[in-house]
């Protein structure tokens, strides 16, 4: 069975993907710089899956460290999550985002070529589309200038991969443009655990409900949406993890050597709808306030998932209430 390198393997999506890989018999080698994750997640992955991962703390921006790592480990495939990922933070600190997100990708691709690793699944994002003119978004939707440096790093990352594939015909890469992952594993042993003040909606919701935050700020109530708040395609993190395994399996049989897919549910939910879902499943009334819009946010986006459903044979199975309920069960363990 394949040795799969999972970068950012102790992070939110990475940890859930490690679990699903282990439960399907893959050997998992995980790296993480622990900038937005905690080492205890490694033991929790083992507890859920009853299998061990190989783990090394590693900063992928450090080229020499990456080279040494590849020399020490036999790797067949890479799932690349490791990146800074907060839209608002990227607007405030763009150089960090360009350095961390792009140099790490370049270093991994150089190592892949040097050590004959020929399968690569890239954690991309629906932010590559900017604010689309037409919804739902298909893979043929034109890319627009990114609304944030974070989104731009994903656009550039995809372009780097496509260029690399063009001159390396045996290298197969897939970009998964996913929408908004939320929720937690049903065991409540792993979930989204931002260090410091959360940048994403759901952990801020759960921390407000738990009394950690005084109130939840809803950024913008005057968008051109039914209730005035932003609309996103929220997807359960376990469904998203399974999409990465489907992508790995597809890479074995794909004829072209680069492809990309939207990964979402195909449904758009507003911020207020997510809040209402959470209040329903938790029985907690949230203290929230609608405030000014946040720089870098787009108004509304949700996916057409026809391509990923048909070519990868993958489809999201869990609904919004499943997502908010599992996120709350996770929060209550913290």
Provide the 8-state DSSP code for 249: H
Tokens of 15: 């940890």
* Alpha-carbon span 29 to 146, nearest angstrom: 32
Task: Quickly tell me which residue has 């622990």 as its tokens.
Answer: 34
How many Cα neighbours within 13 Å face the side chain of 30? Answer: 30
In angstroms, the CA 290 to CA 288 distance is 7
Q: Are 301 and 268 in contact (CB under 8 A)?
A: yes
DSSP code of residue 25: T
Report CA 42 to chain centroid distance, whole Å: 18
**Bridge partners, 174 (sequence order):** 121, 259
99 neighbors 149 (Cβ within 8 angstroms): no
Which of 26, 150, 234, 258 does the annotation list as catalytic?
A: 150
Q: Is 150 a known active-site residue?
A: yes
State how beta strands 269-270 and 231-232 pair.
antiparallel
Cα gap 130→148, rounded to integer Å? 9
CB contact at 8 A, 108 and 102: no
Q: Annotated active-site positions, please?
A: 150
């Amino acid at each position: 069975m394949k040795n799969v390198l999972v970068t950012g393997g102790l992070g939110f999506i990475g940890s859930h993907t490690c679990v699903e890989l282990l439960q399907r018999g893959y050997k998992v080698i995980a790296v993480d710089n622990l900038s937005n994750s905690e080492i205890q997640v490694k033991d929790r992955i083992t507890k859920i899956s009853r299998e061990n991962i190989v783990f090394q703390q590693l900063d992928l921006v450090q080229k020499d460290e990456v080279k040494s790592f590849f020399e020490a480990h036999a790797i067949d495939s890479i799932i690349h999550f490791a990146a800074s990922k907060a839209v608002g933070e990227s607007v405030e600190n763009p150089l960090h985002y360009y350095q961390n997100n792009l140099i790490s990708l370049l270093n991994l691709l150089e190592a892949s070529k040097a050590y004959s690793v020929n399968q690569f699944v890239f954690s991309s994002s629906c932010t590559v589309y900017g604010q689309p003119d037409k919804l739902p978004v298909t893979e043929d939707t034109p890319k627009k200038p990114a609304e944030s440096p974070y989104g731009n790093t994903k656009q550039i990352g995809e372009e780097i991969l496509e260029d690399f594939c063009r001159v390396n015909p045996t290298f197969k890469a897939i970009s998964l443009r996913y929408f908004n992952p939320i929720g937690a594993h049903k065991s409540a042993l792993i979930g989204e655990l931002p260090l410091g003040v959360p940048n994403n909606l759901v952990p801020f919701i759960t921390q407000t409900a738990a009394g950690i935050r005084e109130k939840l700020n809803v950024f913008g109530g005057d968008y051109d949406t039914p209730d005035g708040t932003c609309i996103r395609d929220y997807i359960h993190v376990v469904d998203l993890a399974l999409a990465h395994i489907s992508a790995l399996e597809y890479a074995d049989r794909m004829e072209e050597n680069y492809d990309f897919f939207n990964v979402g549910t195909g449904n758009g939910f507003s911020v207020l709808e997510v809040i209402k879902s959470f209040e329903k499943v938790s029985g907690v009334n949230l203290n929230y306030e609608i405030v000014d819009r946040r720089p870098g946010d787009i108004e509304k986006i949700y996916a057409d998932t026809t391509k990923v459903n048909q070519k990868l044979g993958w489809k999201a199975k869990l609904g919004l209430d499943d997502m908010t309920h599992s996120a709350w069960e996770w929060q209550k363990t913290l």
